[in-house]
Amino acid sequence: MPCQLPADCLNEIFEYLEKDKVTLHSCLLVNRLWCEVSVRILWRNIWIVNPVDYGHRLKVGLSILSTLIACLPNKSKIHLYEKGILNSNDISKTTPLFDYASFCKVLSIHGIGRIIVDVFKNHKYLAKEIIKMFMTKFSLKKLSYYTNSNTVNLSFIRYPGAKDCLRNLSKFSCNSNVKPAFFYKLSQICHNIQSLTIEFKSVVSNGLKDLISSQNSLKYLSLSQTYGVADWTDIIPSLSKHSSTLIKLKIYGSEYYRNRPLSFVTRFTNLQELVLSFRYKYYFDELNNNLQYVTFPHLKILKFPYAYPDDDILIKFLENNGKNLIEIYINSSDSLNLSIAKFCPNLKSLYTLFKFDKIETLKIILNDCQQLESIETQYIYDFLSEKELLETLAKYSPKNFYRLKLINYSDSKLVPKDLEEFFSNWKNRVPLKSFSFIIRRWNNSLESKEGNMKVIEKYKKLGIIKKFETILY
């Protein structure tokens, strides 16, 4: 008789598959126990959908919507039948095997609207009944409320059961232009939101600062200005209230962000992660004077995905804060790379750039950052070649190093001899750590060269390669 894992073991295993909807769906079909365990995880956040195309999205959306309609109470079904939205077959369907809606811990208002628009085109009454059902089913952990053409403008926060449903909300994401009445009411109900994501539109609701101020222990904050010229200076005092509890801060600004305040960032001295994503260097002008003097004693992750502050300012910042950093992401110059080597000895993960004549800089980083495990960089015509990168890593990388992620903007020049030489050297390292090689590419990757994949497969079988993956942009 085959051995059956207990439910708690299965649950622990399936937790790792939370975002892999296809595999989780397959688990439903194994047996009853697997179905009972996996269905709760599968439906925890049904809004995570990675459609291949519009047809696939429509198919997945229809399946979700049909299940939610089946879970509706009879009173709602009759109401929708009278409105001409449901037919008699929808009313007479048997009760589903599970109360799927009760498993949901995440509610996306615009997600519901999108699915209904895809299937029904006219969505107001159906969305109202589905959201009303959600308000009576469970205690939400995450609420997403973005206003767009698919969003149903309903006062669902006043529905029966909404207070209990939203009381324990820990994650909330929204536009800045949601109606003030919604923010006011939510600020009376929710006081323990730990993660807040705000996308600023041209209007900043008056109630937003009340919601921010009413939280007891905000830890994660993401602010983005992607559209419109919104002035959110008024909410900064409310944000500053959380200067002692905030540990992760991300600010993204498009071309609309210019002349917006940034110096308030330095008030959050307990930050562990700071991400400042701006297209242009001059966006940091208002921050530069304060950044070189601030100390973040707990900062571990620092990211500048695009532009970054002036070199001399950032070098001073690294001198003050580099010792505890374990991850840096920056499109940096050579002087900054040398400063990273000098001031960040405990670094584990680094994204940076290396010009074709700066191989010595790479060697210095590998020598001085002895905890380094991973490097991500780019290959293009005036940067270090793939061959030089691999040769240098094989010879100089510290004992914990195991991962290279390469963004290829030029055709790969690697040939089987280059790969054979690198992996042959890598297997002789002591201690041996299996190597991961990830490539993001625009053009022809090393796979297109005859014989390259034969070398890759050879060293995979020997256990020298842990992971090899190419990702097309």
Could you give the angle at the alpha carbon of 354 between the alpha carbons of 349 and 360, nearest 5°? 95
Report d(CA 309, CA 73) in Å as an integer: 57
**What pLDDT, on the 0 to 100 scale, is given for residue 467?**
94
**What pLDDT, on the 0 to 100 scale, is given for residue 283?**
83
**What pLDDT, on the 0 to 100 scale, is given for residue 391?**
95
b/e map of 202-223 (b: 16 or more CB within 10 Å)?
eebbebbbbbbebbeebbbbbb
Could you give the angle at the alpha carbon of 111 between the alpha carbons of 143 and 19, nearest 5°? 75
Residues 2-47: pLDDT tens digits?
556 777 787 877 787 777 777 888 888 888 888 888 888 888 888 7
Beta bridge partners of 330: 304
- Helices (DSSP H) in 43-103: which residue ranges? 54-71, 74-82, 88-92
246 and 218 Cβ atoms separated by less than 8 Å: yes
**What pLDDT, on the 0 to 100 scale, is given for residue 423?**
95
**Domain coordinates in residue numbering, the chain:** 1-42, 373-473
Which residues make Cβ contacts (< 8 Å) with residue 292, sequence separation at least 6?
A: 312, 313, 316, 317, 320
**What pLDDT, on the 0 to 100 scale, is given for residue 462?**
94
CA-to-CA separations, 276 to 58, 223, 287, 308, 374, in angstroms, rounded: 36, 10, 11, 8, 21
**What pLDDT, on the 0 to 100 scale, is given for residue 68?**
86
Residue in the block written with tokens 């101020």: 213
Which residues make Cβ contacts (< 8 Å) with residue 22, sequence separation at least 6?
A: none
Q: Enter the tokens of residue 189.
A: 């109900």
Residues 418-434: pLDDT tens digits?
999 999 999 999 889 99
204 and 238 Cβ atoms separated by less than 8 Å: no
**What pLDDT, on the 0 to 100 scale, is given for residue 454?**
94
**What pLDDT, on the 0 to 100 scale, is given for residue 122?**
60
| Beta strand extents in 195-352 (DSSP E only) | 195-200, 220-225, 248-253, 273-278, 301-304, 327-330, 349-351
Report d(CA 458, CA 420) in Å as an integer: 10
Per-residue confidence in pLDDT tens, the chain, 473 aa: 355 677 778 787 778 777 777 788 888 888 888 888 888 888 888 876 655 556 666 777 778 888 888 888 888 888 888 877 777 776 777 678 888 888 888 888 888 877 787 776 666 788 888 888 888 877 889 999 887 766 666 678 888 888 888 889 999 999 888 888 889 999 999 999 999 999 988 788 888 999 999 999 899 999 988 766 677 888 889 999 999 999 999 998 876 555 567 888 999 999 999 999 988 888 888 888 888 889 999 999 999 999 999 999 999 999 999 999 999 999 887 889 999 999 999 999 999 999 988 899 999 999 999 999 999 999 988 899 999 999 999 999 999 999 999 998 888 899 999 999 999 999 999 889 999 999 988 777 888 888 999 999 999 999 999 999 988 87
**What pLDDT, on the 0 to 100 scale, is given for residue 54?**
60
